Chain A
Amino acid sequence: MEEIINVSGRSVPHIYPHLEIWGTPIALYLFFGGLAAGLLFFASFFYLKGKADTMPMTVKVAPIIAPIIIVLGLMLLLYDLHHILYFWQLFLNFRIESPMSWGAWTLSVIMIPAILWPLSYLDDIIEYLKENKPNCRMIGLFSWANDLMKKLPVVPWVLDVFIKNRAIVAYVTIFLSIVLGVYTGILLSAFNARPLWNTAILGPLFLTSGVSTAAALLMWMSNNPKERTLYSKIDLMLIAIELFFIIHMFMGMLSSGVAQVEAAQLLLGGPYTVVFWVFIVGLGLVLPAILEIMELRGFHIPIAIPAFLILMGGLLFRFIMVYAGQASGFGIH
C-alpha cells in the first residue's frame, strides 16, 4: 500500500493539529437548549390535553426552570463568542441559511412564553411548594415577586391577556420548542466540513434526546405516582427512538463517502468509542431503560437513578458530539 504523509507547517492555536473552536460552553448550551425545549413542550402539550390540574408539576411548576436554563445557555453562548462586544450584530441580521442566526432568534422569541408561562402560574407554584415543600426557601422569594408583579403597571394586564389566550400560546410554544430542540442538532449538522455532524438525522436525534432529558427531569421532580409512571413510559419510548436514530446515523455514515466512514470510525473503534458506547449508550440509554422496565414491572427502584443516568447521558452525548465532530474532517492535514 502506498501512503502519503503530510506535515503541515501551520501551528495556529485551536486550529492545528485539532480544531477546537467550540468546547464546553457550546456542549452545555446545546444541553440546556434541549432540556428547556422538552420542558416547554411537555407543559404546553399536557396543558392542551387538559391535564393542568392533574399534572401540576409538568404544566405549572417545572416550566419555571426553562427560562432560567435558557438564560444560562444564552450566557454560555455569549461567553463563547470571541468578539463579544459585537454580539448585537446577531440581532441586526436574520440569515435563514445560517442555523446560528435563526437559532438565536428562536431562542429570543421562545423567551417570551418561557418567562410568561411560569409567571402566570406563580400563585399555583407558591401553593404547590407550600403543600409539598413547606421548608423551601424559594416560597418567600416567589411570594415577594408575586406581590411586586401585581403592583407594577402593565404586567398584570399582560399576564391577564396571556392567561386568556393560553391555548393559542400553548400551540405556538409547542411549535417553537420543537424548532428549538431540532435547532440544537441542526446547528451542528449544517457543517459540511465536519463529516460526523453532517447528517440530517442529528436534528431529530438531538430533539429526541432533549425531550427525553426533560422527561427524566420531570419524572424525578414529580411526586405523583401516575405522572411518574407516565414519564417512565414516555422515556422508554424516547430511548427506543434514540437508539433507532443512533443506529440509523451509523448506517447512513458507513454507507457514505470516505470522510463520513472515517468520522463514524471515531465512535466505532476510534478514541471516542468507549465514552460513546459505554457511558452514553450503555449507562445513559440502555441501563435506565432496563431500570424503568423493572420499575414498571413492580420492582422498587429509586426514581432518581434512571433519571440521573438519562440526564448525564444526554449531557455526555452533546460533549462527545461537539468534540468528536471537530476531530472529523476531510483528512487534509
Chain B
Amino acid sequence: MAMDTRKCVGCSDCVVACQTENNVPLGFCRDWIVESVKGTYPDTVQMHFKSERCMHCENTPCVRTCPTGASHVIEGGIVKVTPNECIGCGACIESCPYDARYVHPEGYVDKCTFCDHRIAQGMNTACVDVCPTSCLIFGDLDDPKSPVSKVLQEKDWYVIAPEAGTQPQLYFLK
C-alpha cells in the first residue's frame, strides 16, 4: 500500500470505514491518523498527515516472537492473527515497532488485515475505497503493472522507522 501525504487532509474517514467494516470494538482502531508539524514559525511551517496502520512488514518480528504460531503471514504477504490460537500474551505487541496491534476486548490480539475478505472478492480495502482525496493506493507490489508499483516507481517515497529493520510495506509518498 502507498499513502500520499500531500493529498491527505486528515479527515479520519479511513479510520471510521475500517471500524465499521471490521466491527472494531468501541475505543479501538486498526488504522489512525498522525499529524506532523515541522519547521519554525512564521517562515517555514509545514503540516502533513499520514494514515497509518500495520505496515505488513516483510521481516515480521510479530510472527517470530509469537509462541503459538497464531500470528502468521498469509499468501501475498498480509500479516494476520488467528483468534483461537492466540493466547493474548502480548509478545507480538511488544515486538511491533509501530504499535499497530492491540488486545481485543475478547482477549486475542487484533490488527489490520488489509481487508483480506474484500481483497479475495477483488475489491479494495475499506480505507482505500472511502478515502475522499484518493490518497491511499492499494495493490500487489510484486506486480510491476499494479497502480501501487507504478506510483512507487514514479514518485519519491519513504517508510517510517526503516532502522527497525522490519522492511515495512506501507510507503509514504513525499
Which A residues lie at the B interface, using CB under 8 A?
A: 2-16, 19, 21-22, 80-87, 89-90, 92-93, 95, 97-101, 104, 190-194, 257-259, 326, 329-333
One of B85, B89, B97, B107 near A330 (C-beta < 8 A):
B97
Which residues does chain B contribute within 8 Å of A15, judged by CB atoms? 93, 99, 101-102
Question: Could you tell me the distance between the alpha carbons of A90 and B85 in the complex, rounded to whole angstroms?
Answer: 9
Decide: A100 near B97, CB < 8 A? Known: A6-B35, A95-B67, A259-B163: no
Residues of A contacting B123 in the complex (Cβ-Cβ under 8 angstroms)? none
A192 touches B93 (CB 8 A): no
Shortest C-beta distance, B64 to chain A (Å), equals: 5
Contacting residues, chain B, for A191 (C-beta < 8 A): 61, 65, 91, 94-95
Q: List 21 A-B contacts (CB under 8 A).
A: A4-B37, A6-B34, A9-B34, A12-B27, A13-B27, A14-B102, A15-B101, A19-B94, A21-B94, A81-B87, A81-B88, A84-B107, A86-B88, A93-B67, A95-B66, A97-B65, A98-B65, A104-B67, A257-B163, A330-B163, A330-B164
Instruction: Find out whether the CB atom of B34 lies under 8 angstroms from the CB atom of A82.
Output: no
Q: Which residues from 31 to 83 on chain B have a C-beta closer than 8 Å to any C-beta of chain A?
A: 32-40, 61, 64-70, 83
Residues of A near B17 (CB, < 8 A) are: none
Tell me the nearest residue of chain B to A87, going by C-beta: B87
- Cβ-defined contact, B32 with A6, below 8 A: no
Given A81-B87, A82-B90, are A92 and B35 also a contact pair (CB < 8 Å)? no
Residues of chain B within 8 A (CB-CB) of A258 are: 163
Q: Which of A9, A90, A192 interacts with B165 by CB under 8 Å?
A: A192
CB-CB nearest in chain B for A331? B161
A98 touches B96 (CB 8 A): no
Task: Find out whether the CB atom of B86 lies under 8 angstroms from the CB atom of A193.
Answer: no
Inter-subunit contact A22/B94 (CB<8 Å)? yes
Q: B121 an interface residue at 8 Å Cβ cutoff?
A: no
Main secondary structure of the interface of A (DSSP, over half): loop
Q: A14-B103, A16-B99 are in contact. List 19 more A-B contacts (CB 8 A).
A: A2-B39, A6-B35, A8-B32, A9-B32, A19-B94, A21-B90, A21-B103, A81-B89, A82-B88, A83-B87, A84-B88, A86-B88, A86-B107, A98-B66, A190-B64, A192-B61, A192-B97, A330-B164, A332-B97
A12–B102 touching, CB < 8 Å = yes
Would you give the 0/1 interface string for B84-125, flagging 1 where the beta carbon is closer than 8 Å to chain A?
A: 111111110111111101110011110000000000000000
Determine the chain B residues whose CB is within 8 A of the CB of A194 once the complex forms. 94
Return the 8 tightest CB-CB contacts between A and B, nearest first: A82-B88, A83-B88, A10-B32, A83-B107, A101-B67, A21-B90, A193-B97, A100-B67
Given B87, B107, B164, which contacts A193 in the complex, CB threshold below 8 Å?
Answer: B164
Task: State the CA gap A194–B99 with chains docked (Å).
Answer: 11
Q: A19-B93, A19-B94, A21-B93 are in contact. Are A192 and B164 (CB under 8 A)?
A: yes
In the complex, what residues of A have CB within 8 A of residue B90's CB? Answer: 21-22, 80, 82
- Find the residue from B66, B85, B89 having the highest chain A CB count within 10 A: B89
Indicate whether A90 sits within 8 Å of B87 (C-beta atoms), given known contacts A4-B36, A14-B103.
yes
In the bound complex, do residue B99 and residue A19 qualify as a contact, i.e. CB atoms below 8 Å apart?
A: yes
Compute how far the CA of A329 lies from the CA of B100 in the bound complex, rounded to whole angstroms: 13
Decide if B160 is an interface residue (CB 8 Å cutoff).
yes
A95 to B63, CA, bound (A): 10
Q: Report Cα–Cα, A80/B64, bound state, in Å.
A: 20
In the bound complex, residues from chain A placing their C-beta under 8 Å from that of B65 are 97-100, 190-191
Set A3, A8, A326: member contacting B38, Cβ < 8 A: A3
**Of B27, B67, B109, B164, which contacts A98 at CB under 8 A?**
B67
Q: Is the CB of B38 within 8 A of A4?
A: yes
CB distance from B35 to the nearest CB of A (A): 4
Q: Taking the nearest CB of chain A, how far is it from the CB of B57, in angstroms? A: 11
Kindly name the residue among A84, A85, A104, A332 whose own CB sees the greatest number of chain B CB atoms within 10 A.
Answer: A332
| Cβ contacts under 8 Å, B99 to chain A | 15-16, 19, 329, 332-333
Whether B95 lies near A190 (C-beta < 8 A) is yes
User: Taking each of A16, A83, A86, which has the highest tally of chain B beta carbons within 10 Å of its own beta carbon?
Assistant: A83
A12 nearest in chain B by CB position: B102
- B29, CB-defined interface residue at 8 Å: yes
Q: How far is the CA of A81 from the CA of B101 in the complex (A)?
A: 15
A332 contacts B27, CB within 8 Å? no
A9–B12 CB distance below 8 A: yes
B15 at the binding interface (Cβ < 8 Å): yes
B28 at the interface (CB under 8 A from A): yes
How far is it, in angstroms, between the C-alpha of A330 and the C-alpha of B35 when the chains are bound?
Answer: 17
Please state if A193 and B94 are interface contacts (CB–CB under 8 Å): yes
CA distance A326 to B38 in the complex (A): 27
Q: Specify which of A2, A80, A192, A259 is in contact with B89 (CB 8 Å cutoff).
A: A80
CB-nearest residue of chain B relative to A190? B65
